Chains A and B, each alone.
Chain A
Amino acid sequence: MMGRTIFIDPGRCIGCQACVSACRECDSHRGKSMIHLDYTDEGQSVASLPTVCMHCEDPVAPCAEVCPADAILVTADGVVQQADTTRCIGCANCVNACPFGVPKIDLQAKLQMKCNLCYDRTAYGLAPMCATVCPTGALFYGTVEELQAERPGVQVADTFTFGRSEVRTGVAMVVPADRVQWPVPGGLPVVEINGKDVRR
């Protein structure tokens, strides 16, 4: 976990998409939103959850690891930048590698785009646009101490498992205090591939 980072608390999310709109206002990719807002339990509940880039730390960001053009660079403070436009070849390896499904490919420009923690703002000590405007605090920017000062007893996790792989991230997730599971299971079990049931 980085020092000042984003904390995601799905329990506070109201699905209003303020983060999605705010992300379009970020000056480093104005007009395009890099936030994924998912509804986790459609039809049964209005529960929703914003996903920003998780800025993976260990192993070093999977998207950067698989990039054949070395376009995805990680800054000293742990922010995984979006692909350098002078290097990116639009191959979408990063899209396939990311366990959280974060990067997008701009098909027209043949370039990868993703959240870069509003580097145009965080570099100057401002919070990222999404966490600044989030009406509910589902996206919180600060240190874990600041988070706990504001929300007593809050528990966070920064390690996720995908099958046998474990990923530690720079962005952390708030988890239920009474059921802290460590690491947090990520992803859904695969049930079918090309129409074939693969559950065994």
Chain B
Amino acid sequence: MTADPRAADPRTAVPLDPSLAPPGTRAFRDAGGIPADRWHADQNGETLVPTHCCFCGVQCGMYLRVDRGGKVFGVEPRNHDINRMRLCPKGINAYQQVNHPDRLTAPLMRRSRDEDFREVSWDEALDFTVAEIKRIQQSYGNDAFGLLGGASLFSEKTYLVGKFARVALKSRHVDYNGRLCMVSAAGANKLAFGIDRAGNPFSDILLTDCLLIAGSNVGECFPVMTQYVWGARDRGASLIVVDPRETAIARTADIHVALKPGTDSAFFNSVLNVVIEEGLTDEAYLAAHATGWEEVKAKAAEYPPSRAAEICGIPAEQIVQVARAFARAPKAMAWHARGIEHHSQGVENCLTVINLCTATGHIGKPGAGYGTITGQGNGQGGREHGQKSDLLPGGRSIMNEEHRRQICEIWGIEESELPPAGTSMMEMVWQMQRREIRGLIGICNNPFVSLPNYRVVKEGYDATEFHAQFDFFLSETVANAHVVFPVTTWAEDEGVMANAEARVVKHNKAQDPPPGVRTDTWVMCELARRLGTGDKFAFADSRAVFDELRTASAGTVNDYYGITYERLEETGGIAWPCPSTDHPGTPRLFEDGRTYHPDGKIHLQVVEWHPPMDPYDDEHPMSLTTGRTVAHFLSGNQTRRLGALVEQTPRPWAELHPSHGFRNGEPVRVVTRRGSEVFPALVTEAIRPDTVFIPYHWPVPTAANALTIDALDPRSKIPEYKVCACRIEHAEKIDEVPAPPVAPGHVAYPETQVSRTDPLPPTAPQGRGTSERS
């Protein structure tokens, strides 16, 4: 790989005379030759604060432009290792959240859901919340109050969420929205390798000879990762994409396997079958580094290409081609994302990919390995520090006596006080429905859009006696709450996140929060103080939390001990495990051939394919699959208010094949066993005829998740978003996208008032629709 000619970044930020810094920020200035009076006088004295994007798991570096008044007003590309100046539309527009007119700036409260929100003081909101927590826990037990965190929070805050639930609330019920994101991969990695992270850094993609991307629309969901994919292609690497839709990266792939949703494990078992049949396995590697190979081999024998081709709805030759390309390549890599993880067999799908990589010896070498792409900014870090229902900080298990003892020692509590494992996010919603959980605090999540089977979610939340949310916009879920705490955006606080490569990066504070807004850390510590456990939550800021987090993770697999804020600022990111302050970090795992299991081997697991949980019948013959679009992020709470992104993708659509006889833009009703909604049709040959795709970023009545099934993977408890049975019908009128809710006294952002009833613009979203020329 030759050096990027643009690598010399003329705008490296250097510390400036602190007296000139905008209030509340560390001072940075560009050292490049940009004169102060560039074009507009109002930009004099601009400073650049190096930070990272708040959105996906790539964690691109960026500078936030801060004016002399200390306000964020723009973005400037940053030459960081991960993204080398590149950004996607979400990252470019992210700064617009910070001083957005819809920001919540005062706590909101109401005693019942029939009332309107009124602005109250912080004291009143906190006292009411604490009183309700005490009332519910005294009446129904500690476990009747739950806490749901988020994976867009800094790692320090995710650590606090776990600690707050177990020490302050003393409740077992804590989970986070990463449960909807990549816990299947986490479960599979843990089973096979004993460590839960991607095995290789992104830069290894540039060294590989064969790149397999399964269930990941890299071009839209992780656009900046595409530079690595194309970089591999430039070097002549072959590209294999497994996806029911012809996405932007599938368009030029050497092999595009457009399999039927929900058949991934049959496909990968069959690829392994061909690899074995053709004698392409790396027997020496398997003998030295793997257990369970004989059983896996026997199971693969049951999946000849002829059988898998029928299950997956693809030509059998493709399976043979993929097997040969992947196994014969000197160095091959497999990356996957939600496409194979959002299934009731999500863990098993990931295990079949690991089996394939292991059988061909493509593990733990430069350019050869295995990776999973985290969806959320801190999808990786968010599950390492005790936010997950079954985990304690440092990836420790809450079921393990020894691990419990270690954490109780750090937290200064008795082991009897530490609650047992809780339940997953979707299960918690079911418990709310059954009135087992009666009170809930949600921190930076939006289950009303992001959880499957909306009807159940709404019932569950409506059944709670008390519901509080932390957020900076009034999301659909926040609109259901009794108490709303206005908290900071990512640009108003500092903290670390771990990206998809498990590289820990530091976000810096660019501006002071607006008056009336507090950090999530402050709110949690203040609630803990009023609940009587203030001594365990005496944290002044993120740095204090991070120091405890480092200590708590020391000596575990997820070792952060050697990572400090100063080191992160100097290096631009360190991959954990990093046991000491002179340790360089571990960008690539298993280089010494040892995994993190006690025996140091890869534990291969036998996988049997089974059909998806929602059966097809005459009424529901087609598959509905959901996913993301490039302009929006997850539940859309952060992106559906930014004018440029709304303009780019104003509404969802139902993507379907021309064979159904629909015209572009025509209303199409998509019916599943959970309900039906009407979308404009986007007619394209870039999707399988038996599949319908809907992006899920919008609330009802345009929510893909009103149609999806709340079936869970038995091991990882991830919902089966990616496949359910549906049918399509002609309809009269397209369902309108509701404008995002706003707090009392706020006016909705003008750009969000896009007319939502017009027929689709001539260029359908993403330009995939048929033109009317025919």
Q: Which residues from chain B contact A143 at a C-beta distance below 8 Å?
A: 5
Residues of A within 8 A of B246 (CB): 45-46
Contact between B251 and A150, CB atoms less than 8 A apart: no
B77 on interface, CB distance cutoff 8 Å: yes
Closest to B218 in A: A14
Are A14 and B248 touching (Cβ within 8 A)?
A: yes
Which of A22, A47, A134 is in CB contact (< 8 Å) with B251? A47
A18 interfacial by beta-carbon distance below 8 Å: yes
**Given A27-B43, A42-B764, A47-B251, residue A16 in contact with residue B88 (CB < 8 A):** yes
Bound complex: CA of A133 vs CA of B87, how far in Å?
5
The stretch that binds B, out of A57-65, A119-127, A161-169, A178-186, is A119-127
- Look across to chain B and name the residue whose beta carbon is closest to the beta carbon of A133: B87
B770 within 8 A of A: yes
Given known contacts A45-B246, A124-B34, A142-B5, A135 and B223 CB-to-CB distance under 8 angstroms: yes
Q: Which residue of B lies closest to A125 (CB)?
A: B10
Asked whether A12 and B685 contact (CB < 8 A) given A133-B85, A135-B86, the answer is no
A-chain residues with CB within 8 Å of residue B227 when the two chains form the complex: 135-137
Which residues of B are found within 8 Å of A124, using beta-carbon distances?
10, 32-35
Contacts A16-B630, A20-B89; A45 near B234 (Cβ below 8 A):
no
Interface of A is mostly: loop
Least Cβ–Cβ distance between A29 and chain B, in angstroms: 10
Q: A51 at the A/B interface (Cβ < 8 Å)?
A: no
Among B38, B40, B87, which residue has the most Cβ atoms of chain A within 10 A?
B87
Report the minimal beta-carbon distance from A199 to chain B, rounded to whole angstroms. 15
Using known A-B contacts A12-B230, A14-B219, A39-B767, determine if residue A133 contacts B77 with beta carbons closer than 8 Å: yes
Q: Closest approach, in angstroms, between the C-beta of A49 and any C-beta of chain B?
A: 10
Tell me which residues across on chain B come within 8 A of A135, comparing CB atoms.
83, 86-88, 223-227
> Is A84 positioned at the interface, with any CB of B under 8 Å from its CB?
no
- Which A residues lie within 8 Å of B631 (CB)? 17
Binary interface encoding of chain A residues 126-159 relative to chain B, with 1 for a CB under 8 A from any of its CBs, else 0:
1101001111110001110010011110000000
- Establish whether residues B766 and A15, one from each chain, have CB atoms under 8 Å apart when the complex forms: yes
* 24 CB-based A-B contacts, threshold 8 Å: A12-B230, A14-B220, A14-B226, A16-B88, A18-B86, A18-B91, A22-B87, A24-B644, A25-B75, A39-B763, A42-B767, A43-B683, A45-B246, A46-B686, A120-B38, A125-B33, A132-B6, A133-B91, A135-B83, A135-B223, A136-B226, A136-B227, A149-B5, A150-B2
A169 → B minimal CB distance (Å): 21
| Partner among B83, B92, B685, B770 whose Cβ is within 8 Å of the Cβ of A22 | B92
Query: With an 8 A cutoff between CB atoms, is A11 at the interface?
Result: yes
Contacts of B40 in A (CB 8 A): 27
Partner of B220, one of A16, A27, A47, A152: A16
Asked if B10 and A133 sit within 8 Å, CB to CB, the answer is no
Instruction: Name the one of A25, A42, A46, A142 contacting B74, with C-beta atoms under 8 angstroms.
Output: A25
B219 to A16, Cβ gap below 8 A?
A: yes
Known contacts A132-B77, A151-B234; A15 and B88 CB within 8 A of each other: no
Q: Are A15 and B219 in contact (CB under 8 A)?
A: yes
The residue that B252 contacts in the complex, of A11, A18, A132, A151, with Cβ under 8 A, is A11
Kindly supply a per-residue 1/0 record for chain B positions 225-242, scoring 1 wherever the CB is within 8 Å of any chain A CB and 0 otherwise.
Answer: 111001000100000000
Interface string of A1-27 (1 = CB under 8 A from B): 000000000011111111011101101
Determine the distance from Cα of A48 to Cα of B246 in the docked complex, in whole angstroms. Answer: 13
For residue B4, CB closer than 8 A to chain A, the reply is yes
Tell me, in angstroms, the Cα distance from A12 to B86 when the chains sit together: 14
Q: Is the CB of A21 within 8 A of B768?
A: no
Give 1 or 0 for each of B642-672: 1 = CB within 8 Å of chain A CB.
0011001000000000100000100000000
B648→A48 contact, CB < 8 A: no
B771 within 8 A of A: yes
Q: Which residue of B lies closest to A149 (CB)?
A: B2
Q: Is A93 positioned at the interface, with any CB of B under 8 Å from its CB?
A: no
> What 15 new A-B contacts, CB under 8 Å, besides A17-B630, A18-B91, A132-B85?
A14-B220, A15-B219, A15-B248, A17-B648, A18-B86, A20-B648, A21-B648, A25-B75, A42-B771, A43-B658, A43-B771, A45-B251, A124-B10, A132-B77, A135-B225
Digit string of A95-138 for contact with B (CB within 8 Å is 1, else 0)?
00000000000000000000000001000111101001111110
B769 at the interface (CB under 8 A from A): yes
Q: Which residue of A lies closest to B235 (CB)?
A: A152
Q: Mark B81-122, 1 if CB is under 8 A from A, else 0.
A: 001011111011100000000000000000000000000000
What is the CA–CA distance of A127 and B4 in the complex, to the nearest angstrom?
Answer: 13
Q: Is A75 an interface residue (CB 8 A)?
A: no
Q: Which chain A residue lies CB-closest to B630?
A: A16
Residues of A within 8 A of B230 (CB): 12, 136-137
- B86 partner residues in chain A, CB cutoff 8 A: 18, 132-135
B662 to chain A, nearest CB (A): 12
In the assembled complex, the CB of B205 is this many whole angstroms from the nearest CB of chain A, namely 13
Question: Shortest CB–CB separation between residue A143 and chain B, in angstroms?
Answer: 8
CA gap between A56 and B305 in the complex, in Å: 54
Residue B684 is within 8 A (CB to CB) of chain A in the complex: yes
Question: Does B247 interact with chain A (Cβ within 8 Å)?
Answer: yes
Complex: A16 Cα to B234 Cα, angstroms: 20
Contacts of A42 in B (CB 8 A): 684, 763-764, 767-771
In the assembled complex, which residues on chain B have CB atoms less than 8 Å from the CB atom of A149? 2, 5
Assembly CA distance A143 to B252 (angstroms): 26
A43's partner among B85, B251, B685 (CB-CB below 8 A) is B685
Contact residues, B26-67 vs A (CB, 8 A): 32-35, 38-40, 43
